Chains A and B, each alone.
Chain A
């Protein structure tokens, strides 16, 4: 199929982009790589009057360090992250997650900000960046820019806390302490497919804390902000052995996942992500990355 007729605009800088978005009447879609929006246009799942392509806005492709965070422009591609063209502040997790997104052709064009704003529950960044405690930076022409945690930003399947005149401009990823370990496991029907289940964990056994995310749940991911409840109340050096599967299962049931097979699969990927984190000699992983 071909998309319905629409007007395409390509702003040259951020100010122009924000003006266009603020002045847009009717149905407008922002394109930041087009790897999801493109097929949706072709299938006519969306029929906007206007598409604003922000992939040429230079401010959105920059990466800066600021206040213990890496600020990644919204239009940095998955391939940029996979190939190490941005600094590694997450002990190799970002590059690993990026390398597993869909196919290389998609990673060449698809962007981190586009993926978050699209908020497909099965998308990698939604879960991985939540586990990392990242925030999104949002700008508009009328108001000062603001930052909110990804967990607050993604409010449901394909649903984000973004006003009509707002644009995601960056993702702020906190620098991970060297003692922190991560695990990321996804289960797909075949190579390049969206995930059926995602487990993402960032655990710091030295500080005794961690965050866990169970993704691809047909809604916003299930976030376990304080992961100690998955380990009998405390996170120590042998945390993986103390993983409490029934606790994870109960959390999923409480989040509305009624199907026991779905829960089994999601608990399994979470268990494996935790296993991955536990065998990670953090220093060794940093060297390898």
Chain B
């Protein structure tokens, strides 16, 4: 959704990158110019982690450049600059309010898990096949579920308010949840049912989810900005709590208790002289209303409620990525030997689903780092108009990553949850570029553009070799 446009240029006889899409650069010029419309070159499209991937790439490559210039390890520079947990919540110089987190611990765990010492020992030893080993780090944060105040401040048309959810008990004791936003495949059907189960105790198998249909659900601005779990999860919790209160008032009649003496617990209403299940309450309300007194709560067993976090400036999930690569300097091939993600997404509703989101994001990030590129020839003809030419990572290219979870609760959200939908894709281009540069640094070669194609690596290595040869000749 960056809306960046690029203009066709002339003169180059090889296909040259013209589009910002799928390409990152720490430089200011190549391929990033904002051109006039009507060029026929591709325009940026909606993606995950909008703009974050490029920011992370620039920032993390700069940190490695600082480390290299100062003769420090990349982690030393980062440890010195990361916000410490005792500084949380932390307002940075651009007035971003970081709610919680322990960034240094994430980096420490990433270094331990990938065994940075062993990777560097192997790097010093050298490979029998002449490839070079590199270790790369990258840390990012993912501002998630940022709401009204942020978007109103930015002055953009779409400003989200409170997310709403409807919860309804059915005569068989099941539960229907109606939510305006939608699942893109990230398993909201499961995680939102878990939230309802947490509040009402209804078995997940008896919960039906209806998403994203204004004929049946509340309105919503939708699933974006890593907001669904925090916003819809909070709304489901609020609606289920409201429903539990109604069920308690009805259930109290069935156990001859004053509503004030009854309480709701684990799917049952308990009173001084007995208890009754939600299923019985539902069956009575719908099928045996004659068992209920005339002054029963007429609102019944349906509730719609809304939610936004106590503070709507966003809650920050984050991760430290560490990757070990082997780089073939003569052919430019990059093999990912190991990949570690230490992710802190707040309190996780479902770690397995979060793993899936991280794996998916990581694979997309590997594509950005090594493969995906929209090239145009000198006449403006797109050179990658099918997947035969636009390379995506396939199963063999997806790293067998190891994921470590941290769970620092957000002080502002229901359950302490944070959004994690986009993060996996943000750091891989930076981490992989830093790893490739770590591998090639002794040769004097450095890559600053994504994708890091074999050709770009060979180009950089050959250029560095000829510089070295000239120096040698001059001395």
A interface residue numbers (CB < 8 A to B): 39, 43, 187, 189-193, 196-197, 259-261, 264-265, 268-269
Give Cα A268 to B331, complex, Å.
7
B interface residue numbers (CB < 8 A to A): 14, 330-333, 371, 386, 388, 391, 393-394, 396-397, 453-455, 458-459, 462
Cβ A190 vs Cβ B462 within 8 A: no
B381 shortest CB reach to chain A, Å: 15
Give Cα A264 to B463, complex, Å.
12
Q: Which residues of the partner chain B approach A190 to less than 8 Å between Cβ atoms?
A: 371, 391, 393-394, 396-397
Q: Which residues of the partner chain B approach A196 to less than 8 Å between Cβ atoms?
A: 454
Q: Which of A39, A43, A192, A265 contacts B458 (CB 8 A)?
A: A265
Q: Which residues of the partner chain B approach A265 to less than 8 Å between Cβ atoms?
A: 330-332, 454-455, 458
Q: Which residues of the partner chain A approach B396 to less than 8 Å between Cβ atoms?
A: 190-192
* Shortest Cβ distance from B455 into A: residue: A261
* Shortest Cβ distance from B391 into A: residue: A189
Q: Is the interface of B mostly helix, strand, loop or mixed?
A: loop
Give Cα A265 to B458, complex, Å.
8
Q: Which residues of the partner chain B approach A189 to less than 8 Å between Cβ atoms?
A: 371, 391, 453-454
Q: Is the interface of A mostly helix, strand, loop or mixed?
A: mixed
Cβ A39 vs Cβ B394 within 8 A: no
Give Cα A189 to B394, complex, Å.
12
Cβ B454 vs Cβ A193 within 8 A: no
* Shortest Cβ distance from B14 into A: residue: A259
Give Cα A187 to B328, complex, Å.
11
Cβ A191 vs Cβ B462 within 8 A: no
A28 shortest CB reach to chain B, Å: 24
Q: Which residues of the partner chain A approach B386 to less than 8 Å between Cβ atoms?
A: 43
Q: Which of A187, A193, A197 contacts B391 (CB 8 A)?
A: A193
Q: Which of B333, B371, B397, B458 contacts A264 (CB 8 A)?
A: B458
Cβ A261 vs Cβ B397 within 8 A: no
Cβ B330 vs Cβ A268 within 8 A: yes
Q: Which residues of the partner chain B approach A193 to less than 8 Å between Cβ atoms?
A: 391
B297 shortest CB reach to chain A, Å: 60
Interface centre among B14, B331, B386, B462 (most CB of A within 10 A): B331
A193 shortest CB reach to chain B, Å: 7
Interface centre among B391, B453, B455 (most CB of A within 10 A): B455
Q: Which residues of the partner chain A approach B458 to less than 8 Å between Cβ atoms?
A: 261, 264-265
B71 shortest CB reach to chain A, Å: 32
Give Cα A269 to B453, complex, Å.
17
Give Cα A261 to B462, complex, Å.
8
Q: Which residues of the partner chain A approach B330 to less than 8 Å between Cβ atoms?
A: 264-265, 268
